[in-house]
Amino acid sequence: MERLNSKLYLQNCYIMKENERLRKKAQLLNQENQALLSELKQKLGKGKFIKRKCSK
């Protein structure tokens, strides 16, 4: 029984470590996504401004 507990404990430690790694990766991807979305919104906003200016 103690051997099983030790094995499960080690598996749990591995899973928690992997979970932390994936959580950090998800945070970085979210930050990158937000930056790209902001950049896209700026470019689209500039495009609308240019179209309005040219059509007048």
Render pLDDT for 27-53 as a digit per residue (tens, 0 to 9): 999 999 999 999 999 999 887 655 555
DSSP-assigned letters across all residues of 1-56: -HHHHHHHHHHHHHHHHHHHHHHHHHHHHHHHHHHHHHHHHHHHHHHHHHHHHHH-
- The whole-model pTM stands at 0.68
For residues 7-22, average pLDDT:
98
